[in-house]
A and B are shown apart, each in its own frame.
Chain A
Amino acid sequence: MTFSYIVRRILQTLPVLIGITFIVFLIMHLTPGDPVEIMMGRGSVVTTEQIEQIRHELGLDRPLYIQYFSFLGGVLHGDFGRSILQRAPVMHLIADRLPATFELTIFSIIISLIIAIPVGVISSVKRYSLLDHIGTVSALAGVSMPSFWLGLLLIIVFSVKLKILPVTGRANYGYGLAPITNFLLIDAVITGNWGALGDAIRHLLLPAITLGSYMAALTMRVTRSSMLEVLSRDYIRTALAKGLSHKVVILKHAMRNALVPTVTVVTLNIGILLGGNMIVESVFGWPGLGRLVINAVYTRDYPLVQGVVLIYALTYVVMNFIADLLYAALNPKVRF
């Protein structure tokens, strides 16, 4: 890993990000619908001239290429513009939602890995055992259940019937948690507010399980098959022949190598989870980026859509980069 490699990677991402902003800009402006008319509402008290005046104030009457370069120029100065509908700086709106999205994503990944990796490993070691079969069936269920359906099912069981977990939101009012990072779990731990910590975890559980079920299923299957492959390798047989215990061989020799494909799947899926959790966010009233961008698309809030998509793209690129770094960490043969 060299410094020049990192610089090269960062430079490579620039055209990707610019390309994405251009495509998103074009798609948004080609889609029928006018943000100002949507903001004012159909059948509302406003004349065409008044709508034109608002468009003019927002610069929406300028030629498209000027609007695009003005947006790009703003981004270079760290200014993403103002949301048309919410009329607040896009950066603020994104910053408000980002912690919620990351918290949910990271928590759901942790939950899914806690389940998936041990089950995947055990399934491979005890192939065709009862546990392996249960794992296979649950993986199939995890991949096939729509998150919308699973989410509502969990709500009905744990919130409506058992009344042990909340239906919606990220935290209940009344725990007096002082916002520091806006990651509630971190803030609660820093300030020692254990009530708020429990509250935040209870709010996280159902959406995280819903969001993580697909990921858990996928990881479980990938871990199982790559473990099976590794377990049949010569060096495993050699290690066992040396008289090492099964436990050491599996945990130290086999798992480390078998985890390379798992790392790929997990890191790439983090990008997908970040961008694809608007359904889970809607079902659980989770105040994340997904809902923000969906509403922005519906209302043709161009600056907001562009801002959020840029953040998504950036995260995806960074995740790819991290995946590459992890390969090297897990497998010394990989060098950049």
Chain B
Amino acid sequence: MKRMLVVAISILVSGLLLGGVLGWAAGDTLVIGIHQDVTTLDPGNHRDRETETVIRNMYDGLVTRTTDMVVVPQLAESWEVVSPTEWVFHLREGVKWHDGELFTAEDVKFTIDRLVKEGMINGLTSPRKSLLDPVNGAEVIDTYTVKLTLDAPMGHLLAFLPFQEMVAKHYVEEVGDDYLAEHPMGTGPFKFVLRDKGAQIVMERFDDYYGGSPDILPVGPAQVKTVIFKVIPETSSRIAALLAGEVDIIEKVPTDLMGQIEASSNATITTCNGTRSYFVELNCSNGVFTDKKVRQAMNYAIDMQEIVATFYSGLGAVIPTILSPNAIGYADLDPYGYDPNKAKEMLAEAGYPNGFSVVIDTEDFSKNVAQAYAQMLREVGINASVQVWEWSILKPELLAGKRQILLADWGNGSMDPQGIFVPKLGTGARGNYTGYSNKTLDLLFSLSQITSDLTEREECFIQGQEIIYEDCPMVWGYVTKEVYGVSKRVQNWTPSPDSRINLQDVSVSD
């Protein structure tokens, strides 16, 4: 016993003494604190935002996006739409994989086929297949030209390509899918070093990098030598790690804890609009909300500014319809605004001078916001109450048109209306819980899918927003901001509205 004690204590002491200098973030190292681990390192085998955020620093796509959400060339230099179902991409020449081999059209074909054809990854279909629907494959035209073939027109193809990262055919064929998932090898600015599952992913600068998109400056190899993504699930610990100087950038800072970072001498808060829109869905297919006037009155009855101020410390933007101000084709309309008297008048005109009774459906995490809505509705004479549901039970009720008001939100990382506008408001669309149907709108959606011309597509969506702004199938809400804590030693990093953290151009100063 005594000997054990002595041994244990001496190990402890020697360990501490021999440890030497602590490994705090050093001059050529950038450390990012993320809130959950990646699910895999295979870019074709996940549907997870965090995974994309990490992987995108080791892999490039045919195209990428600026922090203003403009799609720009990356591994592809240019492209042309030969027909609505055939897109030809001209690839950058001389791009090297991390193992030194050259990137060619064969790799693009391999990657695209791996994503869209069935049973391509360990006998299973890629969970990313639906992101590229209706792309059915790719054909090699020559070493640096590749054609994507589609079953139907896909006007929004470019908006969904930035996060389809290219994998190397020769590498995957040699090492297999399971090995790729643990040892990624791409053409990106950083190459993989190691992953301690659940703890950290380490990358080092790829010195032979071709420089990335010519539209995102500076073009060239990454600024820092080493990048470490540290997994810190607990919010308070993530903030402590930033304040202790152990990490340089942290994500998902709750608004009520921002003060701790603002008060510190070595870090600041940076925000940008998030990808998620919040709104209140009204049942347009039966009940009181079939009357457009009642739906418009609802838009005047709820004070969205107050909701953003109270529940998000003001870190959000009230939006006129469903699209984020950062989305393409955003129509700059004036939000309805809070006007309870007008709401009462309109309700009286619609035949409800004494209001009506209604239940607001919500899930547990947003019940407080739902209570606030109910209170505001009661003030204009609508007898509103709140019911909290489990989503898997609520969803079939919604699709059957049995509910009246739903507190809801929808994330759209693509920043293209195709990812939110069409699925939420198209007739019979998969996320359409309001039962809203408008033939003109459907026609505009079809047009937007047929054309690949961005201006034409934007025009379709702007007209579409004017229609729904008037029709009010929902009470239009807000987008919230993503809050990051950033060490003052970090230079040239701007958060992106699609919530990715790209580190090629970021540097650190000591």
Within the complex, the shortest CB–CB distance from A305 to chain B, in Å, comes to 15
Check if B47 sits within 8 Å of A87, measured CB to CB: no
Given A87-B124, A173-B23, decide whether A168 and B39 contact each other with a Cβ distance below 8 A: no
Complex Cα distance, B392 from A34, in Å, reads 8
Choose from B33, B133, B178, B393 the contact partner of A88 (Cβ within 8 Å).
B178
How many residues of B are in contact with the other chain, CB < 8 A? 79
Those of B88-141 within 8 Å (CB) of chain A:
119, 121-122, 124-125, 127, 129-131, 133
Complex Cα distance, B177 from A82, in Å, reads 13
Check if A87 sits within 8 Å of B237, measured CB to CB: no
Check if A97 sits within 8 Å of B198, measured CB to CB: yes
Q: Is A71 an interface residue (CB 8 A)?
A: no
Q: Is B411 an interface residue (CB 8 A)?
A: yes
Given A89-B178, A155-B240, A291-B233, decide whether A43 and B411 contact each other with a Cβ distance below 8 A: yes
Q: Is A42 an interface residue (CB 8 A)?
A: yes
Check if B411 sits within 8 Å of A160, measured CB to CB: no
Complex Cα distance, B430 from A197, in Å, reads 54
Q: Which residues of B contact A13 (CB under 8 A)?
A: none
Complex Cα distance, B201 from A287, in Å, reads 12
Those of A48-71 within 8 Å (CB) of chain B:
48, 50, 53-54, 57-58
Complex Cα distance, B18 from A201, in Å, reads 10
Q: Is B36 an interface residue (CB 8 A)?
A: yes
Q: Is B228 an interface residue (CB 8 A)?
A: yes
> B390-419 toward A: CB 8 Å interface, digit per residue (1/0)?
111100000000000000011110100011
Check if A198 sits within 8 Å of B18, measured CB to CB: yes
Check if A198 sits within 8 Å of B16, measured CB to CB: yes
Within the complex, the shortest CB–CB distance from A28 to chain B, in Å, comes to 14
Complex Cα distance, B123 from A82, in Å, reads 12
Check if A93 sits within 8 Å of B197, measured CB to CB: yes
Check if B392 sits within 8 Å of A285, measured CB to CB: no
Q: Which residues of A contact B33 (CB under 8 A)?
A: 168
Given A155-B240, A198-B20, decide whether A41 and B411 contact each other with a Cβ distance below 8 A: yes
Stretch at the interface among B73-81, B145-153, B241-249, B452-460: B241-249
Complex Cα distance, B129 from A47, in Å, reads 11
Q: Which residues of A contact B125 (CB under 8 A)?
A: 53-54, 57
Check if B244 sits within 8 Å of A159, measured CB to CB: yes
Check if B15 sits within 8 Å of A197, measured CB to CB: yes
Q: Is B465 an interface residue (CB 8 A)?
A: no
Q: Is B194 an interface residue (CB 8 A)?
A: yes
Stretch at the interface among B5-13, B164-172, B372-380: B5-13
Chain B, residue nearest A198 (CB): B19
Given A45-B131, A197-B18, decide whether A156 and B8 contact each other with a Cβ distance below 8 A: no
Chain A, residue nearest B125 (CB): A57
Check if B5 sits within 8 Å of A166, measured CB to CB: no
Complex Cα distance, B196 from A198, in Å, reads 18
Check if B234 sits within 8 Å of A285, measured CB to CB: yes
> A94-116 toward B: CB 8 Å interface, digit per residue (1/0)?
00110010000000001000100
Q: Which residues of B contact A53 (CB under 8 A)?
A: 125
Complex Cα distance, B410 from A107, in Å, reads 45
Q: Is A17 an interface residue (CB 8 A)?
A: no
Check if A282 sits within 8 Å of B234, measured CB to CB: yes
Q: Which residues of A contact B47 (CB under 8 A)?
A: 39-41, 44
Check if B122 sits within 8 Å of A168, measured CB to CB: no
Chain B, residue nearest A83 (CB): B39
Check if A87 sits within 8 Å of B39, measured CB to CB: yes
Check if B198 sits within 8 Å of A110, measured CB to CB: no
Check if A46 sits within 8 Å of B130, measured CB to CB: yes
Check if B237 sits within 8 Å of A285, measured CB to CB: yes
Check if A160 sits within 8 Å of B240, measured CB to CB: yes
Check if A114 sits within 8 Å of B8, measured CB to CB: yes
Check if B16 sits within 8 Å of A88, measured CB to CB: no
Q: Which residues of B contact A198 (CB under 8 A)?
A: 14-20
Check if A160 sits within 8 Å of B23, measured CB to CB: no
Chain A, residue nearest B178 (CB): A88
Q: Is B358 an interface residue (CB 8 A)?
A: no
Given A87-B40, A167-B241, A285-B234, decide whether A201 and B246 contact each other with a Cβ distance below 8 A: no
Q: Is B45 an interface residue (CB 8 A)?
A: yes
Q: Is A316 an interface residue (CB 8 A)?
A: no
Complex Cα distance, B17 from A157, in Å, reads 20
Given A97-B197, A198-B19, decide whether A283 and B420 contact each other with a Cβ distance below 8 A: no
Q: Is B302 an interface residue (CB 8 A)?
A: no
Those of A274-291 within 8 Å (CB) of chain B:
282-288, 291
Complex Cα distance, B124 from A57, in Å, reads 7
Could you list which residues of chain A lie within 8 angstroms of chain B, going by C-beta atoms? 32-34, 39-48, 50, 53-54, 57-58, 82, 85-89, 93, 96-97, 100, 110, 114, 151-152, 155-156, 159-160, 163-164, 166-175, 194-195, 197-202, 251, 282-288, 291-292, 295
Q: Which 6 A-B pairs have the closest CB atoms?
A: A198-B19, A287-B198, A172-B23, A201-B15, A287-B199, A43-B410
In the complex, 9 of the A-B residue pairs with CB atoms within 8 angstroms, ordered by the A residue number, are: A32-B393, A34-B392, A43-B412, A44-B130, A47-B430, A54-B125, A87-B124, A155-B240, A159-B244
Contacts A198-B18, A285-B199 supplied; 16 other A-B pairs, CB < 8 Å: A40-B47, A42-B410, A42-B411, A45-B423, A54-B127, A87-B40, A160-B243, A166-B23, A166-B246, A167-B237, A172-B22, A173-B200, A194-B14, A194-B15, A202-B15, A283-B237
